[in-house]
Structure 1
């Protein structure tokens, strides 16, 4: 086999944690930690979410991770964080994603107190574009909030974290699961009534209000 053929068969991104130079910790979550890293194959900077298998003992927790991968790997949009690769070893599941160098929009808001009208307009337009794309593919995010909105080096907003996302192909009277972040939950979710893509639209309104004022309209 020629060197060219071997190179063509190599994955663009590594499929083992040893294929990456692990850097600084970017954040911690209930399921695991996120690190900045560099792919040895490509030299490209990425983010790696490392999910500890020891906390995936229940069927529900495992379903969260499986759903996140199944949904996220299908998505390609300028305002949605791209999932490059995923793999696992004996102790962890790894999700390799696009790196958003400036981190959470929540951090920027805390630094500034609130966003000026022009910044709020720009970020909100990008957010709406991303949500429209998700909804056009019948994907309900269910956890839109400032800490799940990331910024790239050139200040592009990216929607992240699809652990609570769900495929919504029709009205489902059984879709009553309470999930998400209380300050951003729509009334129908809080009331355990059937809900649809409109639940994300409610979260958009909460987010815009928070952009401009610095705090959500409802404190829970």
Structure 2
């Protein structure tokens, strides 16, 4: 009797780029969201470590869902800033879409908050400066993140903050075309977003 191998979302499986043949060892689960799971991944040839976002093809049932993922990739790959998670590369196979990102091994501010339930004032100042630096860069390029929360502020091995998860991000339009979509994470959403007044960077 044949036994099927583990599904692609289980740790310990090799991921192969169909076009280049490069292989990556998929390690521990870093986190999971609505559509995706994020794992540590290591290039088997170079030893370079990444965070890989794995999106199951079976979850992408409608054209607009694929468009949303491609929009996230297109927007994120063009960003280069010290306090924004670095986009490396992406590919897909029959089962999944794989997005390779800078590895932030200390997880996120949400994990720090959950463990300690407090941040000291110097820490808050330290992280806020980095958040504002990243936001200024985005807004100068007409990009709205639209899901700023502790869980999307990732922390590197040397305790540097990197803003990530551009799944809800969009490019800013002129005021008459201001975004009226309600999106974001409950409890973090600005009033003008909930009231559909149209919103810009301030939200």
- Shorter-chain TM-score tier: 0.7 to 0.9
1:62 corresponds to 2:49 = no
Q: Could you tell me which residue of structure 1 aligns to residue 26 of structure 2?
A: 22
Q: Could you tell me which residue of structure 1 aligns to residue 183 of structure 2?
A: 179
TM-score, scaled relative to structure 1 = 0.81
- For the residues of structure 2 that align with 1:32 and 1:120, how far apart are their CA atoms? 29
Q: 1:103 is matched with which residue: 95, 104, 107?
A: 107
Gaps of 5+ in 2: 1-15
Structure with bigger helix share is 1
Aligned residue pairs, count = 186
Where 1:103 maps in the other structure, the secondary structure is coil
- For the residues of structure 2 that align with 1:174 and 1:127, how far apart are their CA atoms? 23
Where 1:86 maps in the other structure, the secondary structure is strand
| Aligned 1:112-191 pairs, distance under 5 A | 112-173=116-177, 175-191=179-195
Q: 1:81 is matched with which residue: 80, 85, 89?
A: 85
Structure 1 residue 174: deviation in Å? Answer: 5.5
- For the residues of structure 1 that align with 2:178 and 2:65, how far apart are their CA atoms? 20
1:72 corresponds to 2:72 = no
- The answer to whether the 8 A contact 2:178-2:200 is kept is no
Gaps of 5+ in 1: 1-13, 200-220
Where 1:147 maps in the other structure, the secondary structure is helix
TM-score, scaled relative to structure 2 = 0.87
Structure ranking higher on relative contact order (CA contacts 8 Å, 6+ apart) = 1
